[in-house]
Structure 1
Amino acid sequence: MTTAKDIMHPGAHWIPAHETLDRAAQMMRDHTVGALPVSAGGEKDRMVGIITDRDIVTKCVASGHDPSTVTAGELCDGTPRWIESSADVDAVLETMQSRRIRRLPVIEDKKLVGMISEADLALHLSDEQVAGWAEKVYSRA
């Protein structure tokens, strides 16, 4: 059985909710990622959301806000989603499809151990699985 841990990109990094969006953008650049889970108060704290490079551009910069004054916590909305590292691929796909999300943090022993993105799905799953996922996540219905 293929698990979330088998297909995730290991070594995901948190950003504390109090950090500014310019710092988040720097972290994304430095780690070559497009998303960061946001923690309530530090590296090992609970996840309060996730921010993406697109969020920074569309919800901050394009709205005329200064990314050096807006915090990661201010940008988070909704209930954060994650999956246990031992979950099978069907559970990963169901979680991402039902919530229409493109990135999914992976947790093991209450610690962030990785992230699953579209690229990880494309690398590890069949063309049929990826196509089914994309149809459900990207459809307008």
Structure 2
Amino acid sequence: MWPKAVDEILRYHHNGILGLPRVATEDVTLHGVTIRSGEGVSCPMLAATHDPAHYRNPHRFNIHRTTDASTTFGAGPHYCLGAPLARLFLDIAYRALFTRFPDLIPAVPEREIPWEGNLLFTKPASLPVAW
């Protein structure tokens, strides 16, 4: 189940809050909102990976999903070329970590985990664990 767990981790907690800003090259209307040519837009990746139209119960962590986390890596000409390497790296790392420390658990409640205030990437400042 490690590959599915990795996909769900990537979907559930995308580390890019704002996504990379884009500038519209032509007028486009999406969901009743017109974005004019030259206007900047920011597409939060968490909006894509938590879209209830694509993921059932998106706020629930579930490694048994039938959908994947491909939106995590973008789409079309902006699809991340490193996606297969990232998945492989995470599969190996999580498998090794939890094989070596099968009883690994957070040492503090989730709400007490400190987070860095970086607006481009979000990640814990530290993650105390116990086993």
> What TM-score bracket applies, with the shorter chain setting the length?
under 0.3
TM-score by length of 2: 0.24
TM-score by length of 1: 0.23
> Of Structure 1 and Structure 2, which has the larger fraction of its residues in helix?
1
Answer with 1 or 2: which has the greater Rg.
Answer: 2
